Amino acid sequence: MSRIGKAPIEIPAGVTVTVDKDNVVTVKGPKGTLTQNVNPDLEVKVEDGHLTVTRPSDDREHRAQHGLYRALIHNMIVGVSTGYRKEMELVGVGYRAAATGQVLELSLGYSHAIYIKLPPEVKVEAKSERNKNPLIILESDDKQLLGQVCAKIRSLRKPEPYKGKGIKFVGEIIRRKSGKSASAK
Average pLDDT over residues 103-107: 95
Rounded distance between C-alpha atoms, residue 167 and residue 149, angstroms: 13
Share of the chain above pLDDT 70, in %: 97
Rounded distance between C-alpha atoms, residue 11 and residue 34, angstroms: 14
Banded pLDDT at 183 (limits 50, 70, 90): low
Instruction: Say whether pLDDT at 2 is over 80.
Output: no
Alpha carbon distance, N-terminus to C-terminus of the chain: 56
Instruction: Say whether pLDDT at 139 is over 70.
Output: yes
Instruction: Say whether pLDDT at 182 is over 80.
Output: no
pLDDT at position 65: 92
SS3 122: coil
pLDDT at position 185: 53
Instruction: Say whether pLDDT at 140 is over 90.
Output: yes
pTM of the complete model beyond 0.75: yes
Rounded distance between C-alpha atoms, residue 142 and residue 146, angstroms: 6
* Cβ-contact 83, 15 below 8 angstroms: no
The string of pLDDT tens digits covering residues 157-172 is 999 999 989 999 999 8
- Residues sharing a CB contact under 8 Å with residue 31, sequence separation 6 or more, in sequence order: 79, 80, 81, 82, 83, 141
Banded pLDDT at 1 (limits 50, 70, 90): very low
Quote the radius of gyration of the chain (alpha carbons, Å): 21
Nearest to 52 by CA among 85, 28, 17: 17
Tell me how many degrees the CA angle 148-151-152 measures, rounded to the nearest 5: 90
For residue 107, list its beta bridge partners: 96
CA dihedral 95, 176, 149, 94 (to 10 degrees): 0
SS3 43: strand
| Alpha helix stretches (DSSP H) within 23-93 | 60-81
The string of pLDDT tens digits covering residues 48-73 is 889 999 999 999 999 899 999 999 99
Mean pLDDT, the chain, rounded, equals 92
Instruction: Say whether pLDDT at 184 is over 70.
Output: no
